[in-house]
Chain A
Amino acid sequence: MKPQTEAELAQMVAGLNEPVHIQGGGTRGVKGPGRAIETSGLSGITLYEPGALTLVAQAGTSVAEIEGALDAEGQQLAFEPMDHRGLLGSSGTPTIGGVVAANISGPRRVQAGACRDFLLGVRYVDGMGQIVNNGGRVMKNVTGYDLVKLMAGSWGALGVLTEVSLKVLPKPEASVTLSVQVPDAAAGIQALSEALKSPFEVSGAAYDPDAGQALLRLEGFEDSVAYRSDQLKSVLSGYGDVAEVTGSTNLWAGLRDVTAFHNQDGDVWRISVKPTDAPDIAARTGAERLLFDWGGGLIWALVPEGTDLRARLGALEGHATLVRAQSDTVTRLGRFHPESAGVAALTKGIRQRFDPRGVFNSGLVG
């Protein structure tokens, strides 16, 4: 099913009598049961005002098209959405609706915010085939409940996104990456915290335990980056040898897309925790490979196939998501972290009201 308009989609959903799954570009490795509702027919940038830092696009618009339009005006999606294709071995074209539905954010999330923080408005078709609008295209909006945030990261469980409005930002004029040699993970994460606690506006803070390297990114105007880079070097000098990394654009794209795990056997987990908890939690994973982003707050773990990572972690303040695994492992362990009884009841209640017949992406989220 590939509707060409929002109205056609609404009619299609109203007439459904079996579960379906919603598919943007199909690159994020989630495929529910039933036939696909493809959003690729709902494509195109509907409004772009560089002077207001606002872009509105239909959900099926490719991320590449949006990034191309922004690039032409020297702007960007500041939340730096990851491309999952390399990690998951998927093909297809990532769409902006998919990015929003999965709340996908990259390394700059630690400073600039997540996809959901840049999402100004949504239009979607709910499980009854009703067209719903929430938010808008202005930067500040507290008119009624913020269903915009609720839709971001709902993985298609509440409705089919048809249009999204995003805040965009100017591309930085310059970027510098500093590396600090810190063999010990706990000290490495501490170095990231030190940098993020500084006033120098670090826009990327990752730790690669294999290389024993903490990586810090600074962005902005050229002189400002040079100044902050000097300052940050002295802040970090106590942790190990500090050096400037060349060719850092690819480096951060690689961290964003977790290229270190591409074509490696095993399951991939993504764990969100309080940064200073990260070294202990990472040790508990028993992972073959690890990568820390978001100042330590995001742990990528590569573990042998079928590993019940959540059992290894025990009680966790945060959440662990199974990103890549065989489908029987996903079925057995669940993709998303189990919620407390109270939160699970709220999630279930919301799903029931947005999609009373349970036609969308059943089995995903809650």
Chain B
Amino acid sequence: MEMPTPNPDVLRRKAIVLQRLLQVLPEDAVIHDPSETRVYECDALTAYKCPPMLAVLPSTTQEVSDVLRICNEEGVPVVPRGSGTSLAGGALPTADCVILGVARMNDVLETDYDNRFIRVQTGRTNLSVTGAVEEDDFFYAPDPSSQLACAIAGNIAMNSGGAHCLKYGVTTNNLLGVKMVLMDGSVAEIGGAHLDSGGLDLLGVICGSEGQLGVVTEATLRILRKPEGARPVLMGFDDNEVAGQCVSDIIKSGILPVAIEFMDTLCIKACENFAHAGYPDCTALLIVEVEGSEAEIDYQLSKIIEIAKRHNPVELRESQSAEESAKIWLGRKSAFGAMGQLNDYMCLDGTIPVSSLPEVLRRIGELSQDYGLPVGNVFHAGDGNMHPLILFDANKPGDLEKCEAFGAEILKLCVDVGGCLTGEHGVGIEKRDLMSHQYTPADLEAQMAVKDVFDPNWLLNPAKVFPLEASAGRRNAQIAAE
């Protein structure tokens, strides 16, 4: 993976930058010793590593503002970091950058049930947002599998989703407002507890901008009352195509499950060994969950089961208890970890129209044969968000490159059937150079023009999202200007 050459001028001025940062931050919030900055050398895309020049851990919006203003004046790139769980390399440093971690900002600032929102500092983890309101039977809906660790800051940057967003939407549908610091140090309040923007929907473009437009320090999030109950049903099929057709029929029936998850043989086995959820031994497994009162759940599941029976399932089993449901979900949410026990893997995230599921799964199978690398599929079938996991051996020379080439072919396939490169993980560095397959130069120009407005010097997370050659002019203009 190519990254821009570190700016030698910035590296030379490390001591000056450090000194200026120490003037605005407490000493323990500035990390400069190479043995300590190494902690920040990668995120969850561990194939790529690069220690940053410095790392800072501000505790207030004012401190974030001071850091960004100084870095802007000094021409130092800044890579914002939530909890470092990005699977796309969104928080990968460059050798000349300052990592700005928001982990110390994790307070709940306001909880308002009458108006159904919570305002938090963005270093707070996803799960602990729900944790702050669940005693009162509320929850925050987006539920990425990394929710125990991942920060709201990163959720906003990547517009994170999760298994239950079929019903509740992704981060952008649950984000009401932000306090954001721009690269020049100015602070903007956008949105709030009210609905919709009175002008351009800047909040909409900030969410999912991968830390390239500003650093969000506070977020107003929509919280929802917990449903009375929820229950999953397991359905096993001996054919991927039939499982795909079943998904489509359920969606069309008028029932809106909260989640429809899909796993293939390799993942079923790995997850079953891990969680002992009682997954059946079959080619394709669906986990379909519905919510409501007991009677509503019974009614919806009876309709879903009726649809499933038309497709001759090899297994059809409703969860019988809360414990069983928890196990079923533990298995699914541990899929990435469970697959990691088999080998190194690369996790893809392309989304396709639901109608293309059988075709894409078949093609992935063929490519797997061609490349000689096994693939497990586990994904959010209801919304077509695939997660092919390509297994490879990082210690075997050439395997990573082979895996990347295979992954690129799968993602191009997703685009070619009418889908996209990434449904919830983000572009980061991982899919950066594939952007040209989905977007024309004019499409990319329009996106980069937005960054020009928020960060004219292209210092925030600069080498991400856009193909390096597409953003070169803008990034180099900043370096030449120094």
Interface, chain A (partner B; CB < 8 A): 49-54, 74, 103, 105, 109-110, 113-114, 116-117, 126, 130-134, 136-150, 152-154, 157-158, 169-173, 190, 193, 196-199, 221, 223-224, 227-228, 272-276, 294, 297-298, 317-321, 336-337, 339-340, 342-343, 346-347, 349-350, 353-354, 365-366
Chain B contacts of A145 at CB under 8 A? 205, 208-209, 447, 450-451, 465
Residues of B within 8 A of A274 (CB): 112, 115, 192-194
* Mask: chain B, 288-330; 1 = CB below 8 Å from A; 0 = not: 0000110110011000000000000000000000000000000
Q: A132-B443, A142-B425 are in contact. Are A149 and B204 (CB under 8 A)?
A: yes
Bound Cα distance from A306 to B198, whole angstroms? 20
A132-B443, A133-B440 as given contacts; A272 in contact with B200, CB under 8 Å: no
Which chain A residue lies CB-closest to B192? Answer: A317
Some 21 contacts from A to B, beta carbons below 8 A apart, are A49-B354, A133-B439, A140-B385, A141-B420, A141-B422, A142-B422, A143-B431, A143-B435, A146-B207, A146-B208, A149-B203, A170-B256, A193-B114, A197-B114, A221-B300, A224-B299, A318-B198, A343-B199, A346-B188, A349-B453, A354-B446
- Among B207, B384, B466, chain A packs the most CB atoms within 10 A around the CB of B384
Taking CB as reference atom, which chain B residue is nearest A298?
Answer: B195
Q: Which 10 A-B pairs have the closest CB atoms?
A: A149-B204, A319-B198, A139-B383, A349-B453, A140-B423, A170-B254, A318-B194, A274-B193, A337-B198, A353-B449
Enumerate chain A residues within 8 angstroms of B115, measured Cβ to Cβ: 193, 274-276
B residues in contact with A136, CB < 8 Å: 418-420
B204 and A146 contact, CB distance less than 8 A: yes
Known: A138-B384, A346-B202. A227 touches B252 (CB 8 A): no
Q: Once the chains are docked, how many angstroms separate the CA of A268 from the CA of B299?
A: 45
Complex CA–CA separation, A342 to B33 (angstroms)? 37
Which one, B113, B226, B252, B453, contacts A51 given CB within 8 A? B252
Distance, CA A139 to CA B207, complexed state (A): 16
- A13: min CB distance to chain B, Å: 13
Minimum CB–CB distance for A289 against chain B, Å: 21
Residues of B within 8 A of A339 (CB): 198-199
A145 to B210, CA, bound (A): 8
What 0/1 pattern do residues 195 to 226 of B give for CB contact below 8 A with A? 11111111111011100000000000000011
**With a CB–CB cut-off of 8 A, which chain A residues contact B170?**
140, 142
Kindly identify which residue among A109, A197, A223, A346 contacts B116, using a CB–CB cutoff of 8 Å.
A197
Contact of A51 with B420 at beta-carbon distance under 8 Å, contacts A103-B196, A145-B447, A274-B194 already known: no
Kindly state whether residue B401 has any CB partner on chain A within 8 Å.
Answer: no
A109 to B204, CA, bound (A): 16
- Are the CB atoms of B384 and A140 closer together than 8 Å? yes
Q: Which residue of B lies closest to A141 (CB)?
A: B420
A49 with B355: CB separation less than 8 A? yes
For the complex, what is the distance from the CA of A321 to the CA of B197, rounded to whole Å? 11
The verdict on B101 contacting chain A, using a C-beta distance below 8 Å, is no
Q: Which of B13-21, B61-69, B157-165, B402-410 contacts its partner? A: B157-165
State the Cβ distance, A317 to closest chain B Cβ, in Å. Answer: 6
Q: Are A138 and B116 in contact (CB under 8 A)?
A: no
Is A51's CB under 8 angstroms from B435's CB?
no
User: Pick the contact of B199 from A130, A353, A366 — CB < 8 Å?
Assistant: A366
How far is A158 from B199 in the complex, measured between Cα atoms in Å?
Answer: 12
Instruction: Determine the distance from Cα of A354 to Cα of B355 in the docked complex, in whole angstroms.
Output: 35
Contacts of A170 in B (CB 8 A): 252-256
Q: Which chain A residues border B166 with CB–CB below 8 Å?
A: 139
* A337, B194: Cα distance in complex, Å: 14
Q: Which of B407-463 contact A (CB under 8 A)?
A: 418-427, 431, 435, 438-440, 442-447, 449-454
Whether A132 and B442, one on each chain, are in contact in the complex, defined by CB atoms closer than 8 angstroms, is yes
Instruction: Please determine whether A138 and B449 come into contact, CB atoms closer than 8 angstroms.
Output: no
User: For residue B425, which residues in chain A have a CB less than 8 angstroms away from its CB?
Assistant: 142
Tell me the minimal C-beta distance from A284 to chain B in angstroms.
Answer: 16
In angstroms, how far is the closest chain A Cβ from the Cβ of B126?
Answer: 16
The answer to whether B173 touches A113 (Cβ under 8 A) is: yes
Q: Which of A54, A146, A158, A342 contacts B159 (CB 8 A)?
A: A146
Residues B173-198 near A (CB distance < 8 A) = 173, 182, 186-190, 192-198
The reply to whether A138 and B227 contact each other, CB–CB distance below 8 Å, is: no
**Contact string against A for B residues 222-255, beta-carbon threshold 8 Å, 1 for contact and 0 otherwise:** 0001111000000000000000000011011111
A336 touching B438, Cβ below 8 Å: no
Which residues of A are found within 8 Å of B172, using beta-carbon distances?
Answer: 117, 146, 149
Q: How far is the CA of A52 from the CA of B260 in the complex (A)?
A: 13
**How many angstroms between the C-alpha atoms of A85 and B166 in the bound complex?**
34
> Is A169 touching B195 in the complex (CB atoms < 8 A)?
no
Q: Is B358 in the interface zone, CB < 8 Å from A?
A: no
Which residue of the partner chain, among A74, A126, A139, A199, contacts B446 with CB atoms under 8 Å?
A: A126
Which chain B residues border A157 with CB–CB below 8 Å? 200
Partner of B114, one of A105, A141, A275, A318: A275
CB distance B453 to A153 under 8 Å?
A: no
Q: Quick check: B424 and A140 within 8 Å, CB to CB?
A: yes
Q: How far is the CB of B245 from chain A (nearest CB, A)?
A: 9
A134 touches B447 (CB 8 A): yes
A282, chain B: closest CB distance, angstroms: 14
In the complex, which residues of chain A have a beta carbon less than 8 angstroms from the beta carbon of B207?
146, 149
* Bound CA span A141–B352, Å: 10
**Interface pair A137/B353, CB less than 8 Å apart:** yes
Say yes or no for B72: interface residue by CB 8 A criterion.
no
CB pair B446 A147 closer than 8 Å: yes
In the complex, B380 has a CB within 8 A of chain A: yes
**Contact status B427-A365, CB under 8 Å:** no
Residue of B nearest to A138 (CB): B351
For A272, the chain B residues whose CB sits under 8 A away are 194-196, 198
Q: Which A-chain residue is minimally distant from B439 (CB atoms)? A: A144
- 1/0 per residue, CB under 8 A from A, across B330-369: the answer is 0000000000000000000001111100000000000000
Partner of A139, one of B190, B384, B439: B384
Complex: chain A residue closest to B176, CB-CB: A274
B374 within 8 A of A: no
Nearest-Cβ distance from residue A75 to partner chain B, whole angstroms: 9
A173 to chain B, nearest CB (A): 7
Inter-chain pairs besides A51-B355, A274-B115, 15 sampled, C-beta below 8 Å: A110-B195, A134-B443, A138-B420, A139-B384, A139-B385, A141-B420, A142-B427, A143-B422, A144-B427, A149-B205, A153-B196, A319-B194, A337-B199, A342-B182, A353-B453
Closest to A145 in B: B447
- Cα distance, A105 to B197, chains bound together (Å): 13
CA A51 to CA B260, docked complex, whole Å: 14
**Please, which residues of chain A bring their CB within 8 A of the CB of B296?**
221, 223-224, 227
CB distance B198 to A321 under 8 Å?
Answer: yes
Is B278 engaged at the interface, CB distance under 8 Å to the other chain? no
